[in-house]
Amino acid sequence: MSVRPIIKYPDQVLRQKAKTIPVVDKSIKTLIDDMIETMKAGCGCGLAAPQVGVSLRCIVLGMPEEEPFAIINPEFVKRTGEREIEEGCLSVPDLGGHVKRSISVIVKGLDRYGKPIRVRGKELLCQALEHEIDHLNGILFIDRVESQDKLFKKEKPVEVEVQDAAAELAAKQ
């Protein structure tokens, strides 16, 4: 398992419709393992194969407090409701935006062993499923932002040395 580089916008692989995976073999399982490691390293809750430069229909998801899993050739079976939520993306790291997503979804596909699965998603899992399947269709969350005023620049976290923070605190006392 290895962490792969995350492809950043405007790389064209992010705009291509990913190809169906005809058979789940060792190379696909390796891809899944690498995608899970890459997702964890990037502190994400989902990742699509195009985000690591592979134009295949495979996504991985990792919800808080749950084991990460993969869906190969995912397809929506059902979508219910609509809500507006804040979203970001590992491939568009400097921007966030407000987009409309479903309230719940049902997705079918294959697991890492090639067995058929169905996944029901609500809240964060629903959002991640829609976001990652969008990637497989060459769609980014910035394409779903209805107007420029719903798009915003993310502030980068400031890293402060512990000694600098302690000195600053002492100076204030």
Q: pLDDT tens across 64-90, in order?
A: 999 999 999 999 999 999 999 999 999
From the candidates 37, 67, 132, 146, give the one annotated as an active-site residue. 132
In a domain, 28, yes or no: yes
Residue at 26 is within a domain: yes
| CATH code of the domain containing 106 | 3.90.45.10
Q: What is the pLDDT of residue 164?
A: 53
Q: Phi/psi zone of residue 78: left (φ > 0), alpha (ψ -120 to 50 degrees), beta?
A: beta
Which of the four pLDDT bands, split at 50, 70 and 90, describes residue 160? Answer: very low
131 is in an annotated binding site: yes
Number of domains the chain contains: 1
Distance CA 117, CA 98 (A): 30
Give the residue numbers spanning the domain of 66. 12-153
Give a yes or no: residue 158 inside a domain: no
135 a known binding residue?
A: yes
Binding site annotation covers 98?
Answer: no
Residue whose pair of structure tokens reads 């690591």 in the numeric block: 52
In a domain, 130, yes or no: yes
Predicted TM-score (pTM) of this structure: 0.88
Locate 19 and state its tokens.
């190809």
123 is a catalytic site residue: no
| Cβ proximity of 99 and 85 under 8 Å | yes
Is residue 168 in some structural domain? no
Residue 167 lies in a domain: no
Q: Nearest-CA neighbor of 61 among 141, 126, 143, 137?
A: 126
More confident residue, 168 or 55: 55
Instruction: Give the pair of three-digit tokens for residue 172.
Output: 């204030």
